[in-house]
């Protein structure tokens, strides 16, 4: 179950706009700063997000999300300035707006062109990916986390993935977001929603939520 189509469509466009502003604000030392994404600089993280949006809007879906394609997205943009990266994203964001405008509810509930799940779930995953990678960049360059609608989308998205992966039943009752019943619901997991989103995507220690590595949807 994804968030409503209108919420996701608005959210992903706004998130890409925020990501563009973030990238445009980075100076060369920022781009070179090591990130918590192993082996990647802040600039590499930006290149992946921008490359992914460019691939999607150009209809390049083969291997999307695989390590090989992800690395290709980074390598293709190696050495670009923050302005060049941001300009590419601005173009891809405009194409995203055009694409979203033609999707109706039937298309949203239909299969994703990437071949995994529904179209709606795929668009929601783009939002979540951009939101969390923006935080990766901010942390890398010493800026604070910005909590916004992307937190709710992240909890919904990881909750759905955990259910699909057969995680033991838990109820995500996290601060500031709607509850999500993983595998039908069970023991209540409480605490900071952003911290949980980071843990559930391999960016934090699950012990802080009395959980184990099974909570990492990318394990």
| pLDDT(38) > 80 | yes
Q: What is the pLDDT of residue 114?
A: 76
Residue-averaged pLDDT of the chain: 95
Q: What is the pLDDT of residue 186?
A: 96
Q: Is there a contact between 169 and 180 (Cβ–Cβ < 8 Å)?
A: no
Distance, CA of 61 to CA of 192 (rounded, Å): 34
Strands (E), the chain: 170-172, 180-182, 187-189
| pLDDT(58) > 80 | yes
pLDDT in tens, 143-164: 999 999 999 999 999 999 999 9
| pLDDT(72) > 80 | yes
Say if residue 69 is exposed, middle or buried (CB neighbours under 10 Å; 0-12, 13-18, 19+).
middle
In the chain, what are the domains? 5-140 (1.20.120.450), 149-215 (3.30.1050)
Q: What is the pLDDT of residue 1?
A: 59
CB-CB neighbours of 212 under 10 Å = 11
Q: What is the pLDDT of residue 117?
A: 85
Q: Is 166 left (phi over 0), alpha (psi -120 to 50) or beta?
A: left
pLDDT in tens, 161-208: 999 999 999 999 999 999 999 999 999 999 999 999 999 999 999 999
Distance, CA of 147 to CA of 144 (rounded, Å): 9
Q: What is the pLDDT of residue 127?
A: 97
Distance, CA of 58 to CA of 53 (rounded, Å): 8
Q: What is the pLDDT of residue 113?
A: 84
| pLDDT(17) > 90 | yes
Give me the percent of the chain exceeding a pLDDT of 70: 100
The token pair that represents 60 in the structure block: 């390049």
pLDDT in tens, 75-117: 999 999 999 999 999 999 999 999 999 999 999 999 988 777 8
């Amino acid at each position: 179950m994804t968030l409503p189509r209108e919420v996701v469509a608005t959210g992903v466009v706004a998130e890409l706009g925020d990501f563009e502003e973030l990238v445009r604000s980075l100076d060369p030392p920022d781009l070179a700063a090591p990130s918590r994404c192993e082996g990647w600089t802040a600039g590499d993280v930006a290149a992946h997000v921008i490359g992914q949006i460019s691939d999607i809007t150009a209809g390049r879906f083969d291997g999307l999300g695989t390590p090989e394609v992800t690395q290709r997205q980074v390598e293709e943009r190696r050495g670009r300035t923050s302005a060049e990266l941001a300009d590419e994203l601005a173009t891809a964001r405009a194409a995203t707006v055009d694409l979203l405008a033609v999707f109706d509810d039937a298309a949203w509930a239909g299969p994703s062109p990437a071949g995994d799940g529904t179209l709606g779930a795929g668009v929601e995953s783009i939002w979540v990916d951009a939101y969390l990678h923006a935080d990766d960049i901010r942390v890398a360059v010493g800026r604070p986390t910005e909590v916004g609608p992307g937190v709710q989308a992240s909890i919904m998205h990881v909750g759905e993935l955990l259910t699909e992966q057969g995680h033991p039943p838990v109820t995500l009752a996290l601060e500031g977001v709607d509850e999500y019943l993983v595998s039908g619901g069970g023991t209540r997991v409480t605490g900071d929603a952003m911290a949980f989103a980071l843990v559930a995507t391999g960016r934090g220690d699950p012990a802080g939520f009395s959980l184990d590595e099974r909570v990492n949807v990318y394990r």
